[in-house]
Amino acid sequence: MVRDIAQRRRRGIDALEIIPLVDLSVFREETIHRIHRGLIPSSYRWSRKKTEQAYSYKNYGDWARCIIVGAKYYLTDEEYPHEMEFGRFARFTWRNNYGYITRLLGEFVDELSQKLGTPVQSRVISNYTSIPEKPLFRYSGLADYGKHSVLLHRIMGSYFVLGEIFTDIELETEEFPQHRPPDYSICGNCSLCIDSCPTGAIIARGTIDINRCLQYISENLLLMPRSFRELWGNRLYGCTTCIDVCPKNRNLARTGEKHSLGFVGQGMQLLDALQLQEKDWPSLFQGNQIGIRSYPSFIKNAITACGSLQYRNALEFILPFTLHKNELLRAYACWAIGRMRGKTSKRILQMRYRREESALVKSELESFF
């Protein structure tokens, strides 16, 4: 009965299925192996202990009996402006689709309780790092892993977010298959995602070196290699190159819902981004996942984009950051100004070099002398 209800209830939810608390030990060991190899940086806040807890359903296993997995499709007919000086947000973050699917799944739980005639103990989550969302959704049979390590659905491609409901509902007795590691057969001989990743972050089928991933780098304030900065382009938050080039993501229906929850649009002009004030940051992206990142990490992205594009009109707006209290922002600002070339840029860098005390910032300055 529960499975029938789940399959009938699709209002706003684009894929839905019920699964048991499946054994995830194979995926747990693979994740721990990646940590040991250094492919998951310590700043990612994903330790061996956290892995063991997540893949053993800590805080859920003592009461939950099944998991309802759902997906929300977000590919709409909206497009980016064409000018390069427009800083782009990755498509998945134009809206708070995570919060939206959480809301929809919460409504589903209420309906489920009514249908069953009894209260359902549950917890609804989405984009919650203490739960391995992708292995659970794959187990449902609704999608499989591509070589880019992102899930692929036959209708939605990779343009969907996941949500889960942990419940105390007992599933009807049946034989459940073992959860097997992916074989990436869905991709055939294609390796476009691997070949197209700007930084070579996809080091093997389904294996990402997060240290090299521009999505991860865009979320954090860290000093990326200069070679990465030069190919940054007009990214302002996020990177989806690997899924955008995937043949499975071509010619999809652009029918994603244009809901208003956490809507921030496709991005903003780079010059406007550089003029954002730190005191206003808490309210700028309220209700959107960009807002959980720090102001300095966002400004770092804007400065890097201007330097990558050698956007000379941005020089006067980047200049104040050469005096910023954060040495990483000073380093990025000096690098970006150096990329713009010319006598004015050189004079600014020479003056900053004489007054700069940070060895890190000086190393950036010295690269242009």
Q: How does DSSP assign 173-194, residue by residue?
A: S-PPPP-PPP--GGGTT--HHH
pLDDT value of residue 10? 62
The angle that helices 359-366 and 342-355 make with each other, rounded to 10 degrees, is 150
Q: Residue 156 in contact with residue 253, Cβ under 8 Å?
A: no
The neighbouring-strand residues paired with 88 are 235, 267
* pTM, rounded to two decimals: 0.94
pLDDT value of residue 279? 92
What is each CA distance from 340 to 315, 345, 354, in whole angstroms?
8, 7, 20
Q: How far is the C-alpha of 40 from the C-alpha of 18, rounded, in Å?
A: 30
DSSP collapsed to 3 states, 315-353 = HHHHHHHHHCCCHHHHHHHHHHHHHCCHHHHHHHHHHHH
Q: Please name the helix (run of DSSP H) or strand (run of DSSP E) that holds residue 49, with its range, or none.
A: helix 48-54
Q: How far is the C-alpha of 261 from the C-alpha of 98, rounded, in Å?
A: 10
pLDDT value of residue 133? 94
pLDDT value of residue 147? 98
Nearest-10 Cα torsion for 81, 82, 86, 92 = 50
**Number of residues that make up the chain:** 369
Q: Residue 196 in contact with residue 241, Cβ under 8 Å?
A: yes
pLDDT value of residue 177? 75
Q: Which residues, 6+ apart, have CB-to-CB distance to 181 below 8 Å? A: 26, 27, 30
pLDDT value of residue 224? 97
- Please report, for the chain, the start and end positions of each structural domain, with discontinuous segments joined by +: 1-267
Q: How far is the C-alpha of 314 from the C-alpha of 270, rounded, in Å?
A: 8
pLDDT value of residue 304? 98
pLDDT value of residue 70? 95
Q: How far is the C-alpha of 205 from the C-alpha of 184, rounded, in Å?
A: 7
pLDDT value of residue 59? 85
pLDDT value of residue 364? 94
- pLDDT tens digits for 64-92? 999 999 999 999 999 999 999 999 999 99
pLDDT value of residue 4? 59
Low pLDDT (below 70) residues in the chain: 1-10, 129, 173-175
Q: How far is the C-alpha of 207 from the C-alpha of 195, rounded, in Å?
A: 14
Q: Which residues, 6+ apart, have CB-to-CB distance to 10 below 8 Å? A: 16
